[in-house]
Amino acid sequence: MSVVFTTTRTIPPTSTRPIRSTSITAIKSTSSSINPSSTTRTTSATTTLSAQSPTKPAGTSSMTTSLPSSSPTTSALGPSQSFIQATLNSHNIARAQYGASPLTWNSNLYPGTQQWANACVFQHSGGNYGENLAAAAPQSITVQQGVNLWMTEASMYNYSNPTFSSSTGHFTQVVWKSTTSVACAIASCNFLGNGTGYLVCRYDPPGNYLGQFAQNVGRPSS
C-alpha cells in the first residue's frame, strides 16, 4: 500500500457525545480529546512523508472531504458469509492475545456501516458505537490488513499509564474487553486517488472510554 489512513476515537465516561481522535498513518496524524472533568480540548499534530510514497507531499490528501464513489466490495444484499467470517477471525485472533472474548457479528450495525463506507468521507460518523477507519491506495484494503495495521500500535501502549492515546486508540478498541460485537464494510472510493479502499469497522458496546482502560486493555499473553 503506498498510502494508508487510519482513524479511531475515544469517549469520556460522563458523556454520550463521542470525542473524535484521528491518526493518519505515514502521512499526518492529529488527535483531540476532552478531559472528562473539564471542557478544555487538547490537540496534538505531527506531519511526516510517506515512506511508501516519497514523492507525495505530506498533507495533500483531505481526510474530511472526497468525491463520492459508491462501489462497495460486498453485495447489495448484505455481506457474504466469508466476509463476516474474515472480519470475526481477524478481530478475534487479535483479541485472544490480550485476554478479550471473541466478538460476534452485529447485523444491526452493518447497514449503516456499509452506507458510511459508500459515502467515501474519511471522518467519523458520530454514532453511539466505537469506530475504526482505514483507507489504502492504490489498491483496496481487507479487514485483515486493517486489523494488522491497528494492532501495530500495541507496542506503543503504556500499561503504566492506561489511558487514551492517538497513537494506540485503534489497538485499544480492537482488544477492548467490554466490546462484544462488530460490523465492518469496505467500499471503493477516490479520496486518495482512484482505487482507494475504504474500511469502516464499528463496535458495540464502544471502547476507549476514559477511565476504563485498565480493566479493558489486557496485557499480551506470553
| pLDDT for 43 | 26
Res 158: pLDDT: 97
pLDDT at 222 over 80: no
Phi, psi dihedrals of residue 48, rounded to the nearest 5°: -140, 170
**Residue 37 identity:** S
- Identify the weakest region by mean pLDDT among 19-23, 42-46, 77-81: 42-46
Supply 125's cell numbers.
460518523
Integer Cα distance of 196 and 20 in angstroms: 22
pLDDT on residue 102: 98
pLDDT computed for residue 107 by the predictor: 97
State pLDDT tens for residues 31-43: 223 233 332 222 2
Q: Which residue has the cell 484494503?
A: 141
Instruction: Give tens-digit pLDDT for 185-196.
Output: 999 999 998 889
Cα distances (Å, whole numbers) of residue 8 to 47, 69, 181, 193 = 18, 22, 17, 22
pLDDT at 25 (0 to 100): 39
Neighbours of 208 (CB within 10 A): 30
Contact 81, 87 (CB under 8 A): no
Give the chain's mean pLDDT: 75
Provide the pLDDT for residue 8: 60
Cα separation of 192 and 200, whole Å? 16
CA atoms within 13 A on the CB side of 126: 3
Q: How far is residue 222's CA from residue 219's CA, in Å, rounded to a whole number? A: 9
Tell me what pLDDT residue 40 has: 28
pLDDT at residue 75 in the model? 55
pLDDT bucket at 78, cuts 50 / 70 / 90: confident
Each residue's pLDDT tens digit, 122-171: 999 999 999 999 999 988 899 999 999 999 999 999 999 999 999 999 99
- Phi then psi for residue 148, to 5 deg, are -60, -40
Pairing mode, if any, of strands 181-189 and 104-105? parallel
Task: Identify which of 213, 217, 219 has the alpha carbon closest to the alpha carbon of residue 11.
Answer: 213
Asked if pLDDT for residue 201 goes beyond 90, the answer is yes
- What is the per-residue pLDDT across 81-136, written as a single tens digit (0 to 9) for each? 999 999 999 999 999 999 999 999 999 999 999 999 999 999 999 999 999 999 99
Nearest Cα to 54, choosing from 122, 3, 10, 114? 3
Cα separation, 197 vs 25, in Å, equals 15
